[in-house]
A and B are shown apart, each in its own frame.
Chain A
Amino acid sequence: METWIPWLTALIPLPPLAAAAAILFLHPCRRPAAALALAGQALSLLGALAVFGGALAAGGTEGGPVRGLLTFTWFTHGDTALPLGVAADPLGASMLLMITFVGLLIFIHSIGYMREDPRFARFFCFLSLFSGAMLGVVAANSLLLLFICWELVGLASYLLIGFWFQKPSAAAAARKAFLTTRVGDLGLFLGLLWIYKETGTLLFYDGGHGLLEQSALTSLAGQTVAGGMALSTAVSLLLFCGAVGKSGQFPLHIWLPDAMEGPTPVSALIHAATMVAAGVYLVARVFPLFAAGAGGDGVTTALTVVAWTGAVTALFGAVVAVAQNDIKRILAYSTVSQLGFMMLALGAGGVAAGIFHLLAHAFFKALLFLGAGSVIHGCGHEQDIRKMGGLRKTMPVTFILYGIGMMALAGFPFLFSGFWSKEAILVEAFAWPVSRIPFLLALAAAVLTAFYMTRQMIYVFLGTWRGKDRPHESPRVMTLPLVPLAAGAVLLGFLATPAWPWFAGFLAGEAVAFSPGALFTGKSLAFMALSILVAATGVAAGWLVYARSPASTAEDPLQTRFPAAHRAVSRRLLVDEFYERTVLRLQSAGENGCARLDGVLRRVTDGAGAVLSRGLGGLAGLLDRSVLNSGFDTVCQFLRAGTAWLSSLHQGRAQNYLRFVGIGMVVLLLFYAWLQS
């Protein structure tokens, strides 16, 4: 690979960061601020295109794709330098391209969506900060640099979820997102420390010395820690904690639906397309570590945990999405579910399937969110789908684009990317040698996906308008960016069909030939039929349940039929309540316990101080009284008595004085005589 490519990769995150700094310090007006942010994003897109082209041209070698590396020293402590670095390879390059492209479209959409917001410029500042940090995550060739950018992404997410901080719900959601992901990040941090301790490096690839390269992996897989677990498994699971937090996997998914409190473009960019996929990306990036020590079937404990987590999350998100009424929350749970699909693919060993679903999902979910933004904007900031309806007539453009997104997500056959990406995941899950249950869970989740999306379409676009103010179509600046996204949601699918699995070849650094015959093998046909059946079942069920009662704002038919189950599902299966009862109570007990412990310690200290001072004081008092006071007093009394006696001699009588003089002389004479003798 040519040397300018990694250099360029290192520069890609900088334009958005520079734009963010410029907006922060220069306080530009609205138009210049948006222009700065767009320019930064567009520059990065150009860079990403060039890097992608470079990775495409570089191809691969025997050992995988060609990687361009750039390593630099952050600082030196003691005798040790701490290197950071970036890598240009197919995985990173495709992520860079997706983030900059989808990001740019969402930036443009935001100009319309945030038009009336007084903090318009600040919004673009945060958005640019996010974009720069996110590009850093995928460009990094160092776990430390990845972690740094990972946390900055979290900061940007916090700032943007809480963008309307005056709303208590938005402020609380921002806090919840930051803290929940932070819990996962502690695991990631510990994993990072542990890897650093064992391998002495945090670089992924470093000419044979990186932590994802053979010598380090062999050594990590060869050691065992407590419970007979391989060291590589232990650190993989710690890293996975971070991925679970960031990618909204069960049981740390709770923050993601609440994050919908942020402006809708934020939900599209951060909480659908890019940041929440960072966890999936992390697992894909360090996949060799997760897979270290695997036998011929590619199964390791770490990957098994990933697969199960993904499968459970996929079904969980899909189930909860069925009973939500907020248009964005449905999409949020759908995101949780789709992220589960991606994790499942990775856990089953299908990195290409997982990452391809990530990319396809970024397009169609961003499309859906921006479509939802357009709907919300057109309905006067109404988000409850029960109060919408009939929008296909009033918002035709949005309807068509949203429909494309819906069909991609539900997995409509052949034409839509979601069909191919989901089929690939089902293939991987089916082939997983450990268990078939995750495959069945994913199948059920796929049916439910088609079901809840049909429900949403019926509620929002079919039937008649049930809201108050008359809805209107959104301006061009909001709808036009959806067109390329819709195109991507369709066209991307052709890069990963069984006939031409180009994307998998690109990731692996292999050239892939076009072979239409692969479509018509028995296995391929069976899975395509299964996928079609899944989508059709979901859509048909949704149509049957909801098509007849879309006009009423009354109870959901499912609610009438299964009241208890529906209530539990609509309350998100009570996971939040569970945490409130357990974790949060434990935390507040800990807080109060520590505060009370301090009170006790303070009293003990004061008591000891009092005893000490009283003891010392008593001793000193005793000394004072017996030695100093009374001693002094005795001397004084003696002096007083003596002087009283002496003064009693001063009587003023001359004869007495003469008598003393005489006595004195006699005494002196006697003394003199005694001296002479």
Chain B
Amino acid sequence: MITALILIPLAAALCVALAPSGWEKRLGGLALAGSLAALAWSGILWIGFDAASAAPQFVEARSWIPAVGGEYILQMDGISLLLVLLTGLVVPFSLAAALRSGWQDRISLAMILVLQSLLYGCFTAGNFLLWFLFWELTLIPAYLLIKLRGGPEETTAAMRFMVMTLVGGVAMLAAFLGLYAAAGTFDFLRLAELGRSGELTAAVGATLSTNWLSPETAAALVFGGVLLGLAVKVPMWPLHIWLPDAYEKAPTAVSMLLTGILSKMGIYGFLRILVPVFPDQLERFLTPLLWLAVATIVLAALAALAQRDLKRMVAYSSISHLGYCLLGLFAAAGTVTAASGHSAALSGVLLQTFNHGITAAALFCFVGFLENRSGGVRTIDAFGGLRSAAPVFCGLMGVALFASLGLPGLNGFVGEFLIFKGVFSLAPAAASVAVLGLLGAALLAMKVMLRVFHGPLPPESKPFPDLTAGEKLTVLPAVALMVLIGIFPQPVLTVFNAAVVQLAGYFGS
């Protein structure tokens, strides 16, 4: 079942790449159809999914490289399913946006499909080696897409992205080799069991400690390696530094993918690995981690306000919003008990993950539409009064902006409310400072609307046509989801509720 999910976009990528030469006009449609087919397949999996059970479902386990503990395990719990669904939504969204800005070359389109396939693998792999393979392989299409579609000067941005992620990946691999040496398995479920019982810390300490390396430090180093790999990806302050340039230089569709799903790989890694496997170490470093998450929220929100380039603004605000996920994750991993605090924080994290994937991708998409019309200009000062010229564009983008500032009735509020509800009961001081991020998000949204939408149309401005039918079709599903989830969040919550209850159960309540 899951293998088929991985193969569908891959097959579509092959078709696109090998299509006969007269098909240039149809390649986009073909790619879109392929990624939508994968979405449909994940929909079928959703229907077959037993939401009441926290156990992995649709398990496929085969021997792969037994000598090093590598097994081909694909499985799906609620968390995996959520991200699989998100992938299925964001990739066609980004492909549609790419087609709207005139992409035709087969390599780029195929790369997006390959990325989709790898993401499915990453969100369903049950064994570290397999997961890590998918995790690292996603870098190749991502890097190539930034390089291929960006101009010649994009080298630094792409390079910084590549190098920082790779360094994180290497650290994570090293840490996992240490874990394997100690525990003898790469299986996520098995590692989580060992981690919960405390055996893992003991085993790592016993195996890796030397005269100059105490057992605690050894365990902390292993934890730090994994943390580094994940924190770069999300990203957590101060490892976010690759992100603004990469998002800014990448073409719209790729920025959408980066923020919509690639950043979610980090969150997923936290939920799948760090939180279940390293409860002791998380507890030990909880305070600095919590404050790093707060710093991510507040500092990124402030930095967003200082930007002039709309894309960089959205990029920074994206960092800030992912900070809420980190905050909820860390707070939920503490041993403070509070009635329903852990489950609220974790539910909020997952909902925010899903919501942010849609909202942030939509915001990039809107900036892309803006850019298509202005001939590549994205400075906030270059616009004004667009609401007179393009009311539909401004209305829909306005919905996305209000969603990102957490207006009740739209999706962002539900996730942020749950995160804050959980975090406030577990770590009130951090939550109290983090609310400043809500103010920052409001300041940003208001700034964009004031400077871009409102005021008079500049007299010498170029004509600014409103959204075309195709563009409306591209963004309407996303905007509709923002409203629907904002009012009826239950269907999304149900997807992962059993998994959240189980995970929250590890931490006391």
A residues whose Cβ falls under 8 Å from a Cβ of B: 75-80, 144, 147-149, 151-152, 155, 162, 165-168, 171-172, 174-175, 178-179, 182-183, 186, 189-190, 193-194, 196-197, 200, 587, 590-595, 597-598, 601-602, 605-606, 609, 612-613
Complex contact A601–B241 (CB within 8 A):
yes
Give the interface centre of B306, B428, B500 by most chain A CB atoms within 10 Å.
B306
Complex contact A77–B344 (CB within 8 A):
yes
Instruction: Tell me the bound Cα distance from A11 to B344 in angstroms.
Output: 29
Complex contact A605–B160 (CB within 8 A):
yes
Known: A75-B489, A166-B456, A179-B442. 13 other contacts (CB 8 A): A77-B418, A77-B493, A78-B343, A148-B409, A151-B409, A152-B407, A152-B408, A165-B388, A171-B455, A186-B435, A186-B436, A190-B431, A200-B339
Complex contact A197–B490 (CB within 8 A):
no
| B449 touches A (CB below 8 Å) | yes
Q: Is the interface of A mostly helix, strand, loop or mixed?
A: helix
- Chain A residues contacting B241 (CB-CB under 8 Å) are 598, 601-602, 605
| B275 touches A (CB below 8 Å) | no
- Chain A residues contacting B348 (CB-CB under 8 Å) are 77
Of B302, B341, B424, which contacts A194 at CB under 8 A?
B424
| B453 touches A (CB below 8 Å) | yes
A597/B299 contact (C-beta < 8 A), A182-B439, A605-B241 known:
yes
- Chain B residues contacting A190 (CB-CB under 8 Å) are 424, 431-432, 435
Complex contact B425–A197 (CB within 8 A):
yes
A172/B347 contact (C-beta < 8 A), A189-B438, A591-B306, A609-B163 known:
no
- Chain B residues contacting A194 (CB-CB under 8 Å) are 424, 428
From residue A10, how far is it (CB to closest CB) to chain B in Å?
Answer: 15
- Chain B residues contacting A168 (CB-CB under 8 Å) are 454-456
Give the interface centre of A168, A595, A612 by most chain B CB atoms within 10 Å.
A595
What are 12 residue pairs bridging A and B, where the CB atoms are less than 8 Å apart in the complex?
A: A79-B501, A155-B407, A166-B454, A168-B454, A171-B455, A172-B450, A175-B447, A179-B446, A190-B432, A595-B303, A605-B164, A609-B163
From residue A190, how far is it (CB to closest CB) to chain B in Å?
Answer: 6
Instruction: Tell me the bound Cα distance from A151 to B501 in angstroms.
Output: 31
Instruction: Tell me the bound Cα distance from A179 to B347 in angstroms.
Output: 29
| B420 touches A (CB below 8 Å) | yes
Instruction: Tell me the bound Cα distance from A597 to B407 in angstroms.
Output: 30
From residue A318, how far is it (CB to closest CB) to chain B in Å?
Answer: 31
Instruction: Tell me the bound Cα distance from A147 to B409 in angstroms.
Output: 11
Complex contact A151–B407 (CB within 8 A):
yes
Binary contact readout B231-246 vs A (1 if CB under 8 angstroms, 0 otherwise): 0000000100110110
From residue B485, how far is it (CB to closest CB) to chain A in Å?
Answer: 10
A175/B307 contact (C-beta < 8 A), A76-B497, A77-B497, A152-B409 known:
no
Binary contact readout B220-255 vs A (1 if CB under 8 angstroms, 0 otherwise): 000000000000000000100110110000000000
- Chain A residues contacting B439 (CB-CB under 8 Å) are 179, 182-183, 186
| B443 touches A (CB below 8 Å) | yes
Complex contact A155–B420 (CB within 8 A):
no
Complex contact B409–A594 (CB within 8 A):
no
Q: Which residue of chain B has the shortest Cβ distance to A24 in the bound complex? A: B395
Instruction: Tell me the bound Cα distance from A151 to B442 in angstroms.
Output: 12
Complex contact A78–B442 (CB within 8 A):
no
Q: Is the interface of B mostly helix, strand, loop or mixed?
A: helix
Binary contact readout B343-362 vs A (1 if CB under 8 angstroms, 0 otherwise): 11011100000000000000
| B473 touches A (CB below 8 Å) | no
- Chain B residues contacting A593 (CB-CB under 8 Å) are 302
- Chain B residues contacting A179 (CB-CB under 8 Å) are 439, 442-443, 446
Total residue contacts A-B, CB cutoff 8 A: 148
A189/B493 contact (C-beta < 8 A), A197-B425, A594-B299 known:
no
- Chain B residues contacting A174 (CB-CB under 8 Å) are 454
Beta-carbon contacts under 8 Å, B299-341 to A? 299-300, 302-303, 305-307, 338-341
Instruction: Tell me the bound Cα distance from A593 to B438 in angstroms.
Output: 19
Instruction: Tell me the bound Cα distance from A166 to B493 in angstroms.
Output: 41
From residue B321, how far is it (CB to closest CB) to chain A in Å?
Answer: 16
Of A155, A178, A200, A591, which contacts B302 at CB under 8 A?
A591
Complex contact B306–A592 (CB within 8 A):
yes
Instruction: Tell me the bound Cα distance from A165 to B390 in angstroms.
Output: 13
A193/B307 contact (C-beta < 8 A), A76-B490, A166-B455 known:
no
Instruction: Tell me the bound Cα distance from A75 to B492 in angstroms.
Output: 10
Complex contact A595–B306 (CB within 8 A):
yes
Complex contact B347–A78 (CB within 8 A):
yes
Complex contact A171–B450 (CB within 8 A):
yes
Q: Which residue of chain B has the shortest Cβ distance to A606 in the bound complex? A: B160
Complex contact B431–A193 (CB within 8 A):
yes
From residue A576, how far is it (CB to closest CB) to chain B in Å?
Answer: 17
- Chain B residues contacting A175 (CB-CB under 8 Å) are 446-447, 449-450
Q: Which residue of chain B has the shortest Cβ distance to A178 in the bound complex? A: B446
Q: Which residue of chain A has the shortest Cβ distance to B343 in the bound complex? A: A78
A166/B385 contact (C-beta < 8 A), A179-B446, A186-B438 known:
yes
Q: Which residue of chain B has the shortest Cβ distance to A170 in the bound complex? A: B454
- Chain A residues contacting B303 (CB-CB under 8 Å) are 591, 594-595, 597-598
Instruction: Tell me the bound Cα distance from A587 to B304 in angstroms.
Output: 12
- Chain B residues contacting A197 (CB-CB under 8 Å) are 338, 341, 421, 424-425, 428
- Chain A residues contacting B447 (CB-CB under 8 Å) are 175
From residue B466, how far is it (CB to closest CB) to chain A in Å?
Answer: 14
Complex contact A78–B501 (CB within 8 A):
yes
Instruction: Tell me the bound Cα distance from A193 to B305 in angstroms.
Output: 27
- Chain B residues contacting A601 (CB-CB under 8 Å) are 238, 241
Complex contact B343–A165 (CB within 8 A):
no
Instruction: Tell me the bound Cα distance from A590 to B407 in angstroms.
Output: 24
From residue A20, how far is it (CB to closest CB) to chain B in Å?
Answer: 12
| B149 touches A (CB below 8 Å) | no
Instruction: Tell me the bound Cα distance from A183 to B347 in angstroms.
Output: 27
Complex contact B455–A78 (CB within 8 A):
no
- Chain A residues contacting B446 (CB-CB under 8 Å) are 175, 178-179
Instruction: Tell me the bound Cα distance from A172 to B450 in angstroms.
Output: 7
From residue B500, how far is it (CB to closest CB) to chain A in Å?
Answer: 6
Complex contact A165–B454 (CB within 8 A):
yes
Instruction: Tell me the bound Cα distance from A594 to B320 in angstroms.
Output: 13
| B504 touches A (CB below 8 Å) | yes
- Chain A residues contacting B436 (CB-CB under 8 Å) are 186
Binary contact readout B144-166 vs A (1 if CB under 8 angstroms, 0 otherwise): 00000000000000001001100
Q: Which residue of chain A has the shortest Cβ distance to B346 in the bound complex? A: A78
| B387 touches A (CB below 8 Å) | yes
Q: Which residue of chain A has the shortest Cβ distance to B447 in the bound complex? A: A175
- Chain A residues contacting B244 (CB-CB under 8 Å) are 598
Instruction: Tell me the bound Cα distance from A175 to B452 in angstroms.
Output: 13
| B186 touches A (CB below 8 Å) | no
Q: Which residue of chain B has the shortest Cβ distance to A598 in the bound complex? A: B303
Binary contact readout B446-471 vs A (1 if CB under 8 angstroms, 0 otherwise): 11011001111100000000000000
